[in-house]
Amino acid sequence: MKIKNILLIGSLSFLLLVGCTNVDEKVYDKYTADDFYGSAQGADVALASVYAQVGGNWDGVGYAGADRGWYDLNCFSSDEQVIPHRTTGDWELDFARLYKHDWLPTDSFINNTWRWLYKSIFNANLAVNQLEKSNAEPSKIAEAKVLRAFFYYLLIDDFGDVPFYTDNNITVDQIPQSSRKEVYNFIVKELTENVETLSATKGGNYYGRFNKWAGYTLLAKVYLNAGVYTGTPEWEKCLAACDKVNAGGFSLHSSAANASSPMGNKYYELFGDVLPDDETILAMFVTANVVSRNIFTVRSLNGPDAKNLFGYSGWNGTIVPKDFFIKYDDKDIRKKQFRYGDQGGGVNYSIDVASLDNPGAAPQAGVRNTKFYPVTPMDGGGASNDFPIYRYADVLLMKAECNVRLGNAAAAKPFIDPIRQRAGLGILATNPTLNDVYNERGFELNWEGHRRQDMIRFDKFLLANDFRGVSANYRKLFPIPTAALDANKGIKQNTGY
């Protein structure tokens, strides 16, 4: 059972208290509100409404953890996971269509992601306004602005040119659409002006919050993809942001044997309950049925297999495509997350999958994943594994990639070799190539929400696979939802849709 003193829990308790108390109307006047949000407690309440949007829950809400939202949209359109329609009639075709790049502007994943991001931006705008008007502590104002930049970053990564606003005093139909480059420039400006003001505190009240180190990691991710967003790469700036993260004192978590771990290794503590702060830079807090949920393992496993392991039935959904799975070396400790072959009790997962949609996959076809091996509280609706939004391993791999792209492959080697060594593999025999970096990012960061972005940056996203041919270039962006176009006639749809 996790015990965390975090902003979200405390603020929810405060809001519940307010909701159950009759208060004279005069406490809501301008002076009192400004005074309140200027206090430490009030500033945290303002920020809590924004952070509440990060946790994953049903109906596409949140960054990760539940279903049909940002995580599914970005992960199932990559090569690392898919839910096939089953020959038993289970699972609709929506998930397979994402993998086959056949999505439509009316799809729920796309609409849910769009609504979630704009609700989060609305809440962030409100928090910035409340905190600035009340002259709140500068670090809290900076935190609200960095959160807003985070959501806009996710928005342009998925949709390109998007409606852009920072003041909530505007109706939906009047919000102007800005170019991807214009919003990118805003994101960079907000981050470079505010990250240094963020708290340097790690853990405690800042577990799951943007501190200085998470802010610089976000800035590095934005610069890493600058070439995709603007046409102008920013490898040197990405390296500089990664170097700032080094001051946070992070290191790779141990991969020593651990008999108490279901997969026998300390490495998997990175995906368990309270994530270790030696490597975790930003985490998404989860306590199932209280704050968010993590469905990834229960959604993957076959019913009897999950019942045998955890005491409740699995959903028999998500699989790891064969081409992705077979790249792992047998000596790689990261291969322990996969379940394939005979598991006993009549469960035998085949590596090969004949069809995703017509007629679909056999009930036990496909490799399964237990990277997020469920921790308590847990039930058939999910588990309480926290989710790593940013890890130091990602920062090291960004540094390796930037050095290779800048022609300094020898300088990249010390950043990729420790990750391989932790996984039980030898160091690279030669200086890394871009393909080495790409593969290592896949091995290390699979199912953590980075793969689609990586595939686009490495020009792999449109390549054919076993279930579709080469995708058209316009598929690098998702369509703007039909509902958004109906609500704002000034929005232009992305090319190709």
User: Which pLDDT does position 35 carry in this prediction?
Assistant: 86
Residue % of the chain over a pLDDT of 90: 92
Q: Is residue 301 part of a domain?
A: no
Largest CA distance in the chain: 72
* 22, pLDDT greater than 90: no
Give the pLDDT band of residue 3 (cuts 50, 70, 90). Answer: very low
Is residue 360 over pLDDT 80? Answer: yes
Top-confidence residue, 34 or 317: 317
> Smallest Cα–Cα separation from 230: which of 303, 156, 165?
156
153 phi/psi in degrees, rounded to 5: -60, -45
Cβ atoms of residues 408 and 396 within 8 Å: no
In a domain, 219, yes or no: yes
Q: Within a domain: residue 354?
A: no
Residues 151-196: pLDDT tens digits? 999 999 999 999 999 999 999 999 999 999 999 999 999 999 999 9
Does 469 have pLDDT greater than 90? yes
User: Which residue range is the domain that position 448 belongs to?
Assistant: 7-288+388-487
pLDDT at 494: 98
424: left (phi over 0), alpha (psi -120 to 50) or beta: left
Q: Check: CB of residue 137 under 8 Å from CB of residue 40.
A: yes
CA-CA distance, 264 to 161, in Å (whole number)? 46
Q: Give the chain's mean pLDDT.
A: 94
Q: Which amino acid is at 95?
A: F
Token output for 441:
């990012």
Q: What is the pLDDT of residues 272-328, one digit of tens each?
A: 999 999 999 999 999 999 999 999 999 999 999 999 999 999 999 999 999 999 999
- pLDDT digit string, tens, across residues 367-399: 999 999 999 999 999 999 999 999 999 999 999
pTM of the predicted protein model: 0.94
Q: How many domains does the chain have?
A: 1
In-domain check, residue 242: yes
Backbone dihedral angles phi then psi of residue 484, each to the nearest 5 degrees: -70, -40
CATH number at residue 86: 1.25.40.390
Residue 355 lies in a domain: no
Task: Please report the pLDDT score of residue 26 as a whole number.
Answer: 47
3-state per-residue secondary structure call for the chain: CCCCCCHHHHHHHHHHHHHCCCCCHHHHCHHHHHHHHCCHHHHHHHHHHHHCCCECECCCECCECCCCCHHHHHHHCCCCCECCCECCCCCCCHHHHHHCCCCCCCCHHHHHHHHHHHHHHHHHHHHHHHHHHCCCCHHHHHHHHHHHHHHHHHHHHHHCCEECCCCCCCCHHHCCEECHHHHHHHHHHHHHHHHHHCCCCCCHHHCCCCCHHHHHHHHHHHHHCHHHHHCCCCHHHHHHHHHHHHCCCCCCCCCCECCCCCCCEHHHHHHCCCCCCCCEEEEECCECCCECCECHHHHHCCHHHHHHHHCCCCCCCCEECHHHHCCCCCCCHHHHHEECEEEECCEEEECCCCCCCCCCECCCECEEECCCCCCCCCECCEECCCEEEEEHHHHHHHHHHHHHHCCCHHHHHHHHHHHHHHCCCCCCCCCCCHHHHHHHHHHHHCCCCCHHHHHHHCCCCCCCECCECCCCHHHHCCCCCHHHHHHCCCCCCCCCC
Of 488, 487, 473, nearest to 160 (Cα)?
A: 473
Between 232 and 35, the more confident residue is 232
Res 34: pLDDT: 79
pLDDT at 30: 54
Using one digit for the tens of pLDDT, what is the confidence trace for 402-421?
Answer: 999 999 999 999 999 999 99
pLDDT, residue 2, reads 55
Amino acid (one-letter) located at 315: W
Is 494 a domain residue? no
Residue 19: is its pLDDT beyond 80?
Answer: no
Work out whether the CA dihedral 481, 484, 489, 494 comes out positive or negative.
negative
On whether residue 212 sits in a domain, the answer given is: yes
Give the whole-angstrom CA distance, residue 246 versus residue 229.
26
- Give a yes or no: residue 233 inside a domain: yes
